[in-house]
Amino acid sequence: MSSIEPTAFSSRRSTAWIVLAVAVGLVIIGGIVAEIAQTAGGSVSVRQVKFVGSNGVMMYGLLYKPVAATAKNPAPGVVAIHGYINSHDTMDGFSIELARRGCVVLAIDQTGHGFSDPPAFANGYGGPDALAYLHSLDFVKGDDIALVGHSMGGWASVVAAATHPDYYRSMVLVSSSTSTPPYEPIPGTPTFPKNVMVLEARYSEFSQLMWSVPKGSEFPTSARLQQLFGASGPIVPGKVYGSIADGTARIFESVPTTHPFLTLDGKAVALAVDWMQQTLQGVAPLPSSSQIWLWDEIGTLIALIGVILLLFPVGSLLLRMPFFSELAQPVLDARPVRGAGLWIGTVILVAVGVLTFFKFQTVANALLPASALFAQTITTGIMGWAVGGGVIGLILFLLWHLLLNKRAGGSLTAYGLTSAEGRLEWARIGKSVLFACAVLATPYLALWFLQWAFATDARFWVFNAKIITPVHLLIWLPYVIPFLFYFIVLGLILHGELRSMRLSPGVELVRNIVMLAGGFVLFLLAEYIPLFAGGTLLTANQPLLAIVAFQFVPMYIIIASISTFFFYKTGRVIPGALINAFFITMLIVTSTATQFPLR
């Protein structure tokens, strides 16, 4: 069987070193930009904190301490709490702007999230322990503390307020409510919680869950909201009900965005700052429109691009080392589908992914509740979707091969799975495992460096690359094999069945990105156009998974890039599938919630 040397991805050593230098530069520049923003140019110190919460649960957070805050000159405090399957960095906009105005801000990871111990939902989501910890600091005015909570973080704030009613002065519920499931509901009343701003998204996916109305535009008519405000009719946005001095103040504000994007909205941040300036003492009167937090998002995005980019030059350089050089095999001639079949195959690949997205995850969670083996319900759902889609894809691939393509010379060799002699290369597969680990060592070293040097990370919005903890590694192990099956099947389809005979490898990489990520862009448009048109999500009963789908766009950009690049570098689908399985599984595991207590 003839072979084709890869030409689109330059094999020159100098090119790999140049790309490596660019990637390292992006990591460092991104970290510097993020640090300058989150420290407000040095006027705020930012450090990681750990403290023991209830039942011995170790809690993690980021503490923003204005330089002027001391034991002799204590400052007002704010506890910032993120929502479900997020972490403390989601609240960076609120944290940075309040710290700039003189507040000591504790942005925590909820229990079972980020670097805090599992399980999720334990100890009031971690809210009471976070409030007690901030209250204990001698440079914080104990009678001048507020809580800002997004989504489930709002529930954590309400539980904290009920647990420590004398430790706080006011609260902002960011697209949240006082319902606090799965705990016994804590009803909002005209006197509890104290001084509440309800900051909602006009196009919230969770309007029914939070305030029992079908659409965000109907929030003012919510009976639950009216009960909180002590009102007998629709709530007037922007009007202060009750008295700040008495702790009974209530105000409702609506921002034209969605539930998850409320944490990435300057107007939302400004409204929260305004409320803190009204309800806390000692908050600097810097105009709420003066904001720098977006530079933190820009910096962490630059760092994220650098971390991802590291994979490619590091992989290229490793393949030149004597130990890994045998993995750099030529790309063998393809026997792909042609003509209209190429378009049909593409449509089927995209359709299987998006049409099974809700169903397969729901089934997987029903069959596999959180356990010591599969400890994360979101990851289990995605795994079930991936395995289900992989099985369908494998069946269709085999039918195409056996019924149509085998007679045309199609083989596992042509599809990039076996050697030119048609054998599985077990020694090379074993070396590919080591290769994947070596490739991933550098980006994870970069993540550690970002946290050590700048107390920051590599992310944009809720898409986050985090360092690996021993707990996350243990969670990762059972999930990685099912995900590896999916990525091998995906590699066979992309580089065997759907490989182009006309496009260069570089253009084919772009095509694969458009194919995989574009499918989820269309999926999200189908879900959200009805919502923005004044209705609800197309699939109104799946708001959480619709939000989760946003992360599949950047994830598939990474997946398509890794799979295509390393296929043309090694001539096989296995190395790219291993890197994808190891890396993507870890991205998912470190960025979601752990429901099972692993201690």
Instruction: Answer whether 31's CB lies under 8 Å from 306's CB.
Output: no
Indicate if the pLDDT at residue 309 is higher than 70.
Answer: yes
Across all residues in the chain, what is the average pLDDT? Answer: 94
Q: Which two tokens stand for residue 131?
A: 């409030």
Give the span between the Cα atoms of 322 and 6, in whole angstroms.
Answer: 20
Q: What is the pLDDT, as a whole number, of residue 304? A: 98
- With a pLDDT cut of 70, the percent of the chain lying above it is 98
Q: What is the pLDDT, as a whole number, of residue 257? A: 97
Q: What is the CATH number of domain 39-264?
A: 3.40.50.1820
Facing residues of 332 across strands? 3
Report residue 6's pLDDT band, with 50, 70 and 90 as the boundaries: very low
Other C-beta atoms closer than 10 Å to the C-beta of 379 total: 26
Q: 196-201 and 250-255 as β-strands: parallel, antiparallel, unpaired?
A: parallel
Q: What is the pLDDT, as a whole number, of residue 498? A: 94
Give the span between the Cα atoms of 343 and 350, in whole angstroms.
Answer: 11
| Residue 5 region by backbone torsions, left for phi larger than 0, else alpha for psi between -120 and 50, else beta | beta
Give the span between the Cα atoms of 173 and 197, in whole angstroms.
Answer: 6
Q: What is the pLDDT, as a whole number, of residue 162? A: 96
Indicate if the pLDDT at residue 9 is higher than 80.
Answer: no
The average pLDDT across 57-83 equals 97
Report residue 12's pLDDT band, with 50, 70 and 90 as the boundaries: low
Instruction: Answer whether 214's CB lies under 8 Å from 208's CB.
Output: yes
Instruction: Answer whether 118's CB lies under 8 Å from 598's CB.
Output: yes
Give the span between the Cα atoms of 306 and 563, in whole angstroms.
Answer: 18
Q: What is the pLDDT, as a whole number, of residue 358? A: 97
Facing residues of 404 across strands? none
Q: What residues contact 316, with CB distance under 8 A and at least 6 apart?
A: 9, 11, 16, 569
Instruction: Answer whether 416's CB lies under 8 Å from 429's CB.
Output: no
Q: Packing angle between helix 127-136 and helix 152-163, nearest 10 degrees?
A: 60
Indicate if the pLDDT at residue 7 is higher than 50.
Answer: no
3 state SS of 423: coil
Q: Out of 30-44, 81-95, 458-472, 551-565, pick the least confident.
A: 458-472
Instruction: Classify residue 402 by burial, with Cβ atoms within 10 Å: 0-12, 13-18, 19+.
Output: exposed
Q: Out of 28-32, 140-144, 501-505, pick the least confident.
A: 501-505
Q: What residues contact 109, with CB distance under 8 A and at least 6 apart?
A: 59, 60, 61, 82, 87, 88, 115, 116, 126
Q: Which two tokens stand for residue 415?
A: 């599809």
Report residue 410's pLDDT band, with 50, 70 and 90 as the boundaries: confident
The average pLDDT across 378-405 equals 95
Q: What is the pLDDT of residues 76-134, one digit of tens each?
A: 999 999 999 999 999 999 999 999 999 999 999 999 999 999 999 999 999 999 999 99
Instruction: Answer whether 307's CB lies under 8 Å from 583's CB.
Output: no
Q: 463-465 and 458-460 as β-strands: parallel, antiparallel, unpaired?
A: antiparallel
Q: What is the pLDDT, as a whole number, of residue 418? A: 83
Q: What is the pLDDT of residues 359-372, one digit of tens each?
A: 999 999 999 999 99
Q: What is the pLDDT, as a whole number, of residue 522? A: 97
Q: What is the pLDDT of residues 333-367, one digit of tens each?
A: 778 888 888 899 999 999 999 999 999 999 999 99
Nearest C-alpha neighbor of 241 from the set 226, 223, 263, 254: 226
Indicate if the pLDDT at residue 328 is higher than 70.
Answer: yes
Q: What is the pLDDT, as a whole number, of residue 275? A: 98
Single pTM value for the model: 0.95
Indicate if the pLDDT at residue 564 is higher than 50.
Answer: yes
3 state SS of 213: coil
Q: What is the pLDDT, as a whole number, of residue 181? A: 83
- With a pLDDT cut of 90, the percent of the chain lying above it is 88
Indicate if the pLDDT at residue 4 is higher than 60.
Answer: no
Q: What is the pLDDT of residues 208-256, one digit of tens each?
A: 999 999 999 999 999 999 999 999 999 999 999 999 999 999 999 999 9
Facing residues of 75 across strands? 140
Report residue 431's pLDDT band, with 50, 70 and 90 as the boundaries: very high
- Three-state SS for 79-147 is EEECCCCCCHHHHHHHHHHHHHCCCEEEEECCCCCCCCCCCCCCCHHHHHHHHHHHHHCCCEEEEEEEE
DSSP 187: -
Instruction: Answer whether 417's CB lies under 8 Å from 487's CB.
Output: no
Instruction: Answer whether 264's CB lies under 8 Å from 209's CB.
Output: no
Q: What is the pLDDT of residues 160-180, one digit of tens each?
A: 999 999 999 999 999 999 988
Q: Out of 21-30, 165-174, 179-188, pick the least confident.
A: 179-188
Of residues 29 and 329, more confidently modeled? 29
- For the chain, give every residue range classified as CATH 3.40.50.1820: 39-264
Q: Which two tokens stand for residue 583?
A: 């890396």
Q: What is the pLDDT, as a whole number, of residue 182? A: 82
Instruction: Answer whether 321's CB lies under 8 Å from 486's CB.
Output: no
Q: What is the pLDDT, as a whole number, of residue 334? A: 78
* Residue where the block lists tokens 């986050």: 464
